[in-house]
Chain A
Amino acid sequence: MISTLGRFTMALALGIALYGAIVSILGARRRKPALIESGRGAVFAVFGLATFAVLLMEAALVGRDFSIQYVARNASLGTPLLYTVIAMWGALEGSILLWIWILAFMSLLAVVIEGKRNREAMPYATGVLLSISAFFLFLAAFPANPFTAIFPPPADGRGPNPLLQNHPLMAIHPPCLYAGYVGWSVPYAFAMAALMTGRLGEEWIRTVRRWSIVAWGFLTVGVILGGWWSYEVLGWGGYWAWDPVENASLLPWLTGTAFLHSIMIQERRKMLKVWNLALIITTFALTIFGTFLTRSGILSSVHAFSESTIGPLFLAFIGVILLVSFGFLVYRSDGLKAEGDLDSLVSRETAFLMNNLLLLGFAFAVLLGTLFPLISEAVRGVKVSVGEPFFNKVNVPIGLVLIFLMAIGPLIAWRRASLDSLRRNFSLPLLLAFLGTGVSSILGVRGLYPLLAFSLAMFAAATVIQEFARGVRARRQISGEGYLTALSNLTRRSRRRYGGLIVHLGVVLVVIGITASTVFRLEKEVSLKRGESMHLGRYQVRFDDLTAWQEAHRFVVQGTFTVLNANRQVAEMRPSKRFYPSEQQPIGTVDVRSTPREDLYLILSSFTQDGASATLKVLIRPLVMWIWIGGAVMALGALVAIWPDRRVLAAEPVKERVAWQPGRS
């Protein structure tokens, strides 16, 4: 019943999306309002059908309808309700369904919000969005249909992959990441609309900047949550391994970040028109490429994803996107001449150009490193991989220069920065940076990169705080407002600028967290008998007990360890191993004690069958928590930047240009 209804829904939605894509573009070209209206209706219909399909799938999962193959594979009678509900994005077919729904929802929002202001571009953008929907609906209707039935239905399902039912972060990490991927479809659609209509001015940029920040914000949160999940679940004590799946999510983030910065140059100085179009096309293509990498199985990854036959389809789709998009770009190249020119090399334009160049270099290095086994095999016939050392060696220096640019970019003047303004804006932060270097050196930081990382982080943080402080002081002098009122009014008056500065502060926190947790990490692995203890850092860890029990859907072996600091008990920690019936191997579950100062991370590596001794791996990773906090601050900054103004939206472009005075003091 559900199977038939679901398959019918997918097929119907595919038909409507194809129809809508065609009539939208046809209607726009022939100026037939009835066709355009019909295309708009298709967006609503696809959203309705996608919502219905998601509800159907959830009904099947929660109702444990094992006659649906997806349910039989990813749910079981013993699986708790939360993990049954989120099993929808635990495997390929359900993920594609979620992707379709998010895309349908974003398309709907785009049509509703942007329709009135972009009468000419909207039908083309609708056509592009519906075409993307049609591709994913095709996957869901045919090769990766989530509603495929099996007969006879099994009595019980296999349940989700144990790694995916071990932590509640699984409930939000994939949807955030997908929203981050899918979100770039809207800016891409308007960029394509600009190319199709030939209106290549700054209108499309103004339309997409909020959408880009939304997509960027979701992608940021998705990437950081992915690191957090890896840290809490995979049990190796790290959060980033330069794994292909992780890199796939970082690539569009890097090019998307470059895009967010370079569109400011076009808005302000009417330069970089081709560059911005190329960047958004690349970013969108990379979101699809990321899905291809994770789903095709062409690269081995520690992440558990199934190999499937849809890989070639993704590759073909990427090919079509690149061909059509860059084809249009070449076709329209006459209309894309820069109207502005560079005035001075010491200017915000130069800082942003460098930022773009480095972000793209970073992305290129990540892409090259990820695909290196394939490339070397194709070119030289030997399979060579480059692991973590490559990424660290190449990307750490690039990252450090990027932090430097991040600090000076928002404060340096457009067009031409005077020596005086440079001195006024940067002397205090520079002083603080040197002080910070001295302090971290005294605290025991050694090595060029760690010292540079801390001092640049200090430099960037100081510029942001100085900027806020100056703004608040200026407001207080004029209006006599209190500190907090002045701060909130200041931020409200130019949200994009101050939102961006908040994001930069978040990046600083992430950089500090990554550097400290890498440089000062301590690690020790020992076997302990009951009652024995080991020492690491300021902690003493005592092995107290080992217990085991059977739960509804798994068998658990858990160690109990008492953690002492200067002979005072600070915690009791219980790392465990969980045995799922569907897997022959246990899944380790770490116990982490997080404090702002440092994380204590316990892994139960192994134990003897009588429970008399256990092998324990203990890690101390300082300041890890600040990576997650930094991620939250970045998301907050993005939220501030996109928060709608209470005043009329139409007046916005003029007003924001005035607000974009650099380095005001």
Chain B
Amino acid sequence: MTKKSKLLLGAIIVAAALGYLIYGGIREAAVYYITPTELKEKGASAADQSFRLGGMVVPGSLEWEPQTIQLTFRLTDGKQEIAVRHTGSPPDLFKEGAGAIVEGRYANGNLFVANTILAKHSEEYRPPQAGQAQAKDMYRTLMKPPEERR
């Protein structure tokens, strides 16, 4: 065997190993994008797969329990709603009526247990809407005289 063919063989082996790694990685790490309607259709059969569920946070469904750090809410695509539970604080950009993507598993066919919440964020700014409470009004109770600042 010449050096060149040995080298070629080596390269093929390395490339094959890389291909195998990538194939295995995709099989293991694939996360399916899914809507609440699609997930409802799958029901309990979806138990052992990871999903990225996207939808809008149903207004009025958001509950945040600071003592146990439990966050529960419902996501909707306009047709179906899925209850979601997450252990941890809501991300900064997460709110009712806004879009969110949660990553996790659908346990028992009725509750989505999320390990990650991705709130949608965009560079575009909307001016504060009329009727929306200003942040400073919301947290006025926290206001202290300036001399107590850092």
B144–A549 contact, CB under 8 A? yes
Q: In the assembled complex, which residues on chain A have CB atoms less than 8 Å from the CB atom of B6?
A: 345
Q: Check: A390 CB closer than 8 A to any chain B CB.
A: yes
Report if A566 contacts B (CB, 8 A): no
A257, CB-defined interface residue at 8 Å:
no
Interface residues of A in 325-360 (CB under 8 A from B): 342-345, 350, 353-354, 357-358
Q: Are B142 and A609 in contact, CB atoms less than 8 angstroms apart? A: yes
B146 touches A549 (CB 8 A): yes
Whether A609 and B123, one on each chain, are in contact in the complex, defined by CB atoms closer than 8 angstroms, is no
Task: Return A604 CB to nearest CB of chain B, in Å.
Answer: 9
In angstroms, how far is the closest chain A Cβ from the Cβ of B49? 11
Let me know if A161 is at the binding interface, CB within 8 A: yes
What is the predominant secondary structure among interface residues of chain B facing chain A?
mixed
Q: Which residues of A contact B125 (CB under 8 A)?
A: 73, 158, 161, 582-583
Complex interface: chain A residues within 8 A of B47 (CB): none
Closest-by-CB residue of A relative to B93 is A585
Interface string of A211-226 (1 = CB under 8 A from B): 0000000000000000
- Whether a CB of chain A sits under 8 angstroms from the CB of B30 is yes
Q: For residue A603, which residue of chain B has the nearest CB?
A: B89
CB proximity to B under 8 Å, residues A525-557: 525-527, 546-550, 555, 557
- Residue A420 at the B interface, CB < 8 A? no
CA of A188 to CA of B6, assembled, Å: 32
Contact bitstring B127-139, A, C-beta under 8 A = 1, else 0: 1110010111011
Q: Are A586 and B25 in contact (CB under 8 A)?
A: no
A567 to chain B, nearest CB (A): 25
CB–CB A365/B30 < 8 A: no
Q: Within 8 Å CB of A391, what residues of B?
A: 25
B residues less than 8 Å from A596 (CB atoms): none
SS class, residues of chain A in contact with chain B? mixed
- A609 x B141 contact (CB < 8 A): yes
Q: Is B122 touching A546 in the complex (CB atoms < 8 A)?
A: no
Asked whether B136 lies within 8 Å of A555 as measured between CB atoms, the reply is: yes
Q: Would A390 and B29 be within 8 Å (CB), given that A350-B7, A397-B21 are in contact?
A: yes
CA distance A385 to B134 in the complex (A): 37
**B146 to chain A: closest residue by CB:** A549
Q: Report the bound CA distance from A586 to B24 in whole Å.
A: 40
* Distance from B125 Cβ to chain A, minimum over Cβ atoms (Å): 5
Q: B70 to nearest A CB, angstroms?
A: 11
At the interface, yes or no: A428 with Cβ under 8 Å from chain B? no
Question: Could you tell me the distance between the alpha carbons of A62 and B32 in the complex, rounded to whole angstroms?
Answer: 47
- Given A558-B150, A574-B150, A387 contacting B25 (CB threshold 8 A): no
A547-B144 contact given A344-B3, A585-B93, CB 8 Å threshold: yes
| Interchain CA distance A443-B35 in the complex, whole Å | 46
Question: Interface range on chain A: under 10, 10 to 19, 20 to 34, or 35 or more?
Answer: 35 or more
Q: A357-B11, A394-B25, A555-B136 are in contact. Are A385 and B33 (CB under 8 A)?
A: yes
**Least Cβ–Cβ distance between B140 and chain A, in angstroms:** 9
A574 and B143 CA atoms in complex are apart in Å by: 16
Q: With A158-B125, A357-B14 as known contacts, state yes or no: A586 contacts B135, CB within 8 Å.
A: yes
A131 at the binding interface (Cβ < 8 Å):
no
Interchain CA distance A391-B93 in the complex, whole Å: 26
Contact B31 A611 (CB under 8 A): no
Q: Are B52 and A305 in contact (CB under 8 A)?
A: no
| Interchain CB contact (< 8 A) of B66 among A302, A344, A549, A608 | A608
Instruction: Report which of A73, A387, A579 forms a contact with B31, defined as CB distance below 8 A.
Output: A387
The reply to whether B14 and A557 contact each other, CB–CB distance below 8 Å, is no
CA distance A343 to B149 in the complex (A): 72
B148 within 8 A of A: yes
With known contacts A304-B123, A389-B29, A525-B69, A394–B132 Cβ distance under 8 A: no
Question: Which B residues are within 8 Å of any A CB, using their own CB?
Answer: 3-4, 6-7, 10-11, 14-15, 18, 21-22, 24-26, 28-33, 52, 64, 66-67, 69, 88-90, 92-95, 103, 118-129, 132, 134-136, 138-139, 141-144, 146, 148-150
Given contacts A306-B123, A345-B7, A390-B25, 13 further A-B contacts (CB under 8 A): A161-B123, A304-B123, A306-B122, A345-B3, A353-B11, A386-B30, A387-B31, A390-B29, A393-B25, A549-B143, A579-B139, A581-B135, A584-B126
13 A–B pairs (Cβ distance < 8 Å), ordered by A = A306-B123, A361-B15, A364-B18, A365-B21, A382-B32, A386-B26, A390-B28, A550-B143, A581-B128, A584-B132, A585-B94, A586-B92, A605-B88
Interface set of A (CB-CB < 8 Å, partner B): 73, 91, 158, 161, 235, 300, 302, 304-306, 342-345, 350, 353-354, 357-358, 361, 364-365, 368-369, 372-373, 382-391, 393-394, 397-398, 525-527, 546-550, 555, 557-558, 574, 577, 579, 581-588, 605-606, 608-611, 613, 615, 617
A-B pairs with the 9 shortest C-beta distances? A605-B89, A579-B135, A390-B29, A548-B142, A383-B33, A389-B29, A527-B66, A361-B18, A304-B123
